[in-house]
């Protein structure tokens, strides 16, 4: 899935009520809008309805009038909606430590236009990746972590996020556990990536542990962060088969590739407004 550059995006959610699809699509028809993509989902367990529509505007189109009219039309449904204009680019802050593969991949995809976003800052607890950020002409903020005063470092991180107007934070192999306070502030708009191995190998050298157990699958999970470590709502996952011929360094290499692809996919879904939070899960349309 990829967004057409000249289309508006309309996303909405509400309780499951008869007539929700008609309310939205009929309004678009009445306004002379041409629908190019339409996905909806009704969750019978949570009794919530979700819809995402891309459309082309007519020659005469007033965004404020459109918003006001739609708000009046869907008010009785208790529907919340968001309207994203054509060619919109999300402002993004990327957090990293020492591993460069995910950062390099995201910056490349931004540069070639595959991910319609503007990385406005890179933040790290180490100085190692500053040359990579500078090569892309992106400000790099090195905030060393003092274990005795972690809140001070996180306040600096939040200041960068606030000053840049970032709408999305990406933890691209940022190897620090965020505090509950920072998790609450970033809830729903910060994406993390980590390896996915079965069994779940924790601690140092997980791929070496996986090799010793003879794993047959390696993978990665991209999810929104919350206060439960690596257990936030999942956006995307990737998996690849491996066998006895894969040594630890082979598993690590394959894991890096899967992490890059899975994180890029999750970021793309988010900035194209395809992800809806549904309690502790996500709906991806």
Q: What CATH number has the domain bearing residue 30?
A: 3.30.70.260
* pLDDT over 70, % of the chain: 97
Task: Supply the pLDDT for residue 198.
Answer: 67
Do 49 and 124 share a structural domain? no
Do 261 and 170 share a structural domain? yes
Task: Supply the pLDDT for residue 202.
Answer: 75
Do 72 and 205 share a structural domain? no
Task: Supply the pLDDT for residue 31.
Answer: 96
- 116-164 pLDDT tens trace: 999 999 999 999 999 999 999 999 999 998 888 888 999 999 999 999 9
From first to last of its 285 residues, what are the pLDDT tens digits of the chain?
Answer: 566 678 999 999 999 999 999 999 999 999 999 999 999 999 999 999 999 999 999 988 999 999 999 999 999 999 999 999 999 999 999 999 999 999 999 999 999 999 999 999 999 999 999 999 999 999 999 999 888 888 899 999 999 999 999 999 999 999 988 888 999 999 999 999 988 876 777 777 888 998 999 999 999 999 999 877 667 899 999 999 999 999 999 999 999 999 999 999 999 999 999 999 998 899 999
Number of domains comprising the chain: 2
- Nearest of 145, 149, 101, 105 to residue 124 by alpha carbon: 145
Boundary (domain end) residue, out of 62, 84, 106: 84
CB neighbours (10 Å) of residue 119? Answer: 25
CA–CA–CA angle 229, 235, 240 (5° rounding): 90
In a domain, 1, yes or no: no
Task: Supply the pLDDT for residue 169.
Answer: 97
- β-pairing, 80-84 vs 8-15, is antiparallel
- 194-225 pLDDT tens trace: 888 767 777 778 889 989 999 999 999 999 99
CA 13 to chain centre: 18
Do 158 and 26 share a structural domain? no
Q: How many CA atoms lie within 13 A of 96 on its CB side?
A: 26
Boundary (domain end) residue, out of 66, 84, 102: 84
Do 230 and 178 share a structural domain? yes
**What is the residue range of 44's domain?**
8-84
C-beta of residue 49 within 8 angstroms of C-beta of residue 15: yes
Do 267 and 204 share a structural domain? yes
End-to-end C-alpha distance for the chain, whole angstroms: 9
In a domain, 159, yes or no: yes
What span, in angstroms and rounded, lies between the C-alpha atoms of 104 and 83?
31
**Residue 6 designated active-site:** no
In a domain, 166, yes or no: yes
Boundary (domain end) residue, out of 68, 84, 100: 84
Do 128 and 34 share a structural domain? no
Q: What CATH number has the domain bearing residue 227?
A: 3.40.50.170
Do 271 and 149 share a structural domain? yes
- Catalytic residue chosen out of the listed positions 230, 243, 250, 257: 230
Do 54 and 95 share a structural domain? no
Do 183 and 237 share a structural domain? yes
Task: Supply the pLDDT for residue 200.
Answer: 75
Task: Supply the pLDDT for residue 1.
Answer: 55
Do 122 and 59 share a structural domain? no
* Single pTM value for the model: 0.93
Task: Supply the pLDDT for residue 230.
Answer: 66
């Amino acid at each position: 899935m990829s967004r057409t550059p000249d289309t508006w995006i309309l996303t909405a959610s509400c309780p499951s009520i008869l007539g929700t699809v008609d309310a939205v699509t009929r309004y678009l028809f009445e306004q002379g809008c041409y629908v190019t993509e339409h996905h909806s989902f009704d969750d019978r367990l949570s009794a919530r309805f979700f819809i995402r529509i891309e459309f082309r505007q007519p020659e005469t189109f007033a965004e404020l009038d459109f918003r006001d009219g739609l708000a009046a039309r869907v008010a009785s449904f208790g529907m919340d909606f968001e309207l994203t204009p054509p060619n919109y680019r999300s402002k993004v802050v990327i957090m990293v430590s020492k591993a460069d593969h995910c950062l390099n991949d995201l910056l490349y995809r931004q540069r070639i236009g595959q991910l319609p976003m503007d990385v406005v800052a890179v933040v790290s607890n180490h100085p190692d990746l500053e040359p990579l950020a500078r090569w892309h002409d992106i400000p790099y903020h090195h905030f060393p972590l003092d274990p005795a005063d972690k809140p001070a470092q996180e306040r600096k991180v939040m200041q960068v996020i606030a000053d840049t107007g970032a709408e999305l934070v990406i933890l691209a192999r940022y190897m620090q556990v965020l505090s509950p306070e920072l998790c609450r502030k970033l809830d729903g708009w910060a994406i993390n990536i980590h390896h996915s191995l079965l069994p779940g190998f924790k601690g140092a050298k997980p791929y070496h542990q996986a090799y010793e157990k003879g794993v047959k699958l390696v993978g990665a999970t991209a999810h929104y962060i919350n206060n439960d470590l690596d257990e936030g709502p999942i956006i995307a996952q990737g998996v690849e088969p491996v066998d006895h011929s894969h040594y630890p360094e082979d598993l690590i290499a394959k894991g890096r590739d899967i992490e890059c692809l899975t994180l890029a996919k999750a970021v793309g879904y988010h900035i194209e407004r395809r992800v809806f939070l549904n309690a502790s899960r996500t709906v991806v349309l």
